[in-house]
Amino acid sequence: METQDPIACPLNNAEIASLMTKGTGTISGMSLKKTKHKKTKSVSGPEIFNLPDEEKNISCHRRSRSSRAPTSTSIGSINISQIKQNIYPSVNQVSSSTTLNQSTKSIEDNNMYNKSNENNGIIDLNVLNDNNVTEKKNTQSSESEWIIQALCEIENGFQVILDRVKQNTNSCKDAIAFLKKRAIIEEEYGKAMLKLCQTTFENTGKEKIFNKQGSYNDSWNQFIELHEKIGNNRLKFAESIGTVTDNLFTLLKNTERSRKQLKEAGLKHQKAVIDSESLLEKAKIKYETCSEAWEEAILEKERQFVEHYGNVSMSNQVNGYNTIRKKSLFSKNTVNPTKLQKNEDETRNKAAQANEAFKVQLISTNTIRREFFRNNLPRILKSLKEANDECDNTLQYNLGKYSLDYENALMSDATTISPLNEAQGLRKIIQKIDNAGDFIEYVRKPLFKGTKFEKNDIPFSEYKMQPETYSIIHPKTIFGVSLSEQLARDNTEIPEILNKCAYFIERYGLNTVGVYRLSGSNSAIQKLRTQFDRDASQVVLAEDSNVQDTLNNVTGVLKLYFRELPDSLFTQELYNEFIEASKTDDDRKRLVEIHELVNRLPDPNYLTLRYLIAHLDRVSANQKVNKMGISNLSIIWGPTLFGSCSSTKSDGPEADQFIDMKYQCKVVEVILSNCYAIFDPDS
């Protein structure tokens, strides 16, 4: 009994067609990477296996770029039957040997499949734009299922619904941002109103003698009580807005989490389909390559027999009917029939193995694709649609709740100011004031008491000196005086010398190269020091004929002022902590530690440092012109601001002093580089 060749089990076309879905390299709802392979000569089909005549009419072609495009003339339609024919067209040209005849039943089954899909293969997506679609849907659930089914039929359906959910989350973020600020406004308004009412009540109670009494006082108290009610109403409204904001924030987190999980699941299934199709393409290439090698082996064997035995078929030669004379035994092209037969057997076996591997992989790939298109993709789209609907409804509900609360708050304010019943409103309260009666009641007591004039002597009036003369007699020394002491004495937050010098430098010196680096005249600096030491508020820094020299003198006296402070701006108490913080290698940790130390500075030191750093930041902002960046400014101001602290280490080794100076500069550099993080920009 003749043994059947392993390749004798051709693919059932009807079964293969039933596993096919639309698209050759595209998953519905997602764009897949289109696999490419080296084009080889097609050797499968009737040319090798002598298939029956009915099978010779089956289309045998490779997938091409044109086969991926739908041939339907309708823009919004998807012809599934046409797309099905473009998926692995080589399936219809499965190879078989002369000993294997493909079953006619498989072709009939395939034809039946094609006929059954001729009417069901087209889904018109243009109906999505039909205004009568909603009227044809009985329930909302059926409409949702219909939409999901339609999304499954388009390539970007998955991305469409993902984008819609993303739009919902963005809308939630906008609503949350608005409602947060809205709640802050209402809360600040309500608290300010209550604080104002409380302060007014306290002042009215303490200073009754200075305020009008009588009917005005009664109406005034009712007036303030009414405003207090309005403040309480605003606080309640702010609380209700906070509740709505919390609900929307919870909705946002849940929707984003669901979208992320469903997106990852969809991409996971997508990757499984892509990987399976890639393996299928490799199996197909191997199958075609082995079939081509088998074909070449057959042709080579035939050619060798013709050359050796003449124009006689191999079958006649084998049966002994050859009448052509044989070539010489010593011919160079001696044919080895055994070798040729062995080569043909090997290639046929490889082709059979590749055919089996291709069929197995094809079934596996189609199983994965069918599971994706029938189960996974609809399930994911349905879950995304449910998450989108939940976000839509919850967002709409909470915005409606906010609208209702807003209306109630306005109505409450309106009824408080002008009640609908007989109760007195704001206007009626003011109308109750009797000014004439209050005035008579006020002057009645003084008239009966009979007040008299007091005849006192004229007091001595002291001569007022000019400010310049007064400053000489009573100087307000600032050099070498404690910062807190001079600020308390002058009743200012910032030293006047810093204020005036910074203003002058920013007006004339921002575009000057080497500002703060160039030194001024010592005599001029000492003269300015004397003027500031008398009364800093009376010093006028005017533009001179030589602006450059004046600018250098001003920068010199300002640096001299900070160096001669009894306790440096960073204070002796925190000196070691600043130095240790600057030694930290981690930039983030170093910034946090220095920030904490700056906050621990006394109020006068903190306010002065904030003003100085803001001034230096404006200088460094123009460093392209003045060449004074943050690094250069830190080198100058580091030892200056740590001046009195550095002197305590003057007895130590010079190396230690140099190392401390390095870290002093580092502290100033960190503060300058992060001034808007350390200090409030609005301040």
Q: Which structural domains are found in the chain, ordered by start?
A: 156-275+378-430 (1.20.1270.60), 476-677 (1.10.555.10)
**2 neighbors 90 (Cβ within 8 angstroms):** no
- With 60 as the cut, is the pLDDT of residue 103 above it? no
Within 13 Å and on the Cβ side, how many CA atoms surround 134? Answer: 2
pLDDT tens string 445-473: 776 676 566 667 777 777 677 767 776 77
pLDDT tens string 62-71: 333 333 333 3
- Which 8-state DSSP code applies to residue 466? P
As a whole number of angstroms, the distance between CA 233 and CA 244 comes to: 17
Q: Mean pLDDT, to the nearest integer, of 246-257?
A: 93
Q: Mean pLDDT, to the nearest integer, of 537-546?
A: 79
- With 70 as the cut, is the pLDDT of residue 394 above it? yes
Of 296, 294, 371, 355, give the one whose Cα is nearest residue 91: 355
Task: Give whichever of 8-17, 52-61, 319-328, 390-399 has the largest mean pLDDT.
Answer: 390-399
- Least confident stretch, 120-124, 428-432, 554-558, 573-577: 120-124
- Least confident stretch, 447-451, 600-604, 633-637: 447-451
Percentage of the chain lying above the pLDDT 70 cut? 69
pLDDT tens string 27-71: 433 433 333 333 333 333 333 333 333 333 333 333 333 333 333
SS3 528: helix
Reported confidence tier of residue 239, pLDDT bands at 50, 70, 90: very high
Reported confidence tier of residue 120, pLDDT bands at 50, 70, 90: very low
pLDDT tens string 296-353: 989 988 888 787 765 544 444 444 444 444 444 444 455 577 888 888 889 899 989 9
- Which 8-state DSSP code applies to residue 461? -
pLDDT at 152: 81
Residues contacting 137, CB < 8 A, separation 6+:
143, 146
As a whole number of angstroms, the distance between CA 367 and CA 184 comes to: 58
Is the pLDDT higher at 599 or at 471? 599
pLDDT at 310: 57
As a whole number of angstroms, the distance between CA 634 and CA 595 comes to: 17
Is the pLDDT higher at 197 or at 86? 197
| Residue type (1 letter), 329 | L
Q: Mean pLDDT, to the nearest integer, of 180-194?
A: 92
As a whole number of angstroms, the distance between CA 367 and CA 360 comes to: 11
Share the mean pLDDT of the chain. 75
- Least confident stretch, 95-104, 600-609, 632-641: 95-104
Residues contacting 139, CB < 8 A, separation 6+:
none
pLDDT at 82: 37
- At residue 77, φ and ψ (nearest 5 deg) are -110, 155
**322 neighbors 309 (Cβ within 8 angstroms):** yes
**497 neighbors 558 (Cβ within 8 angstroms):** yes
As a whole number of angstroms, the distance between CA 172 and CA 166 comes to: 10
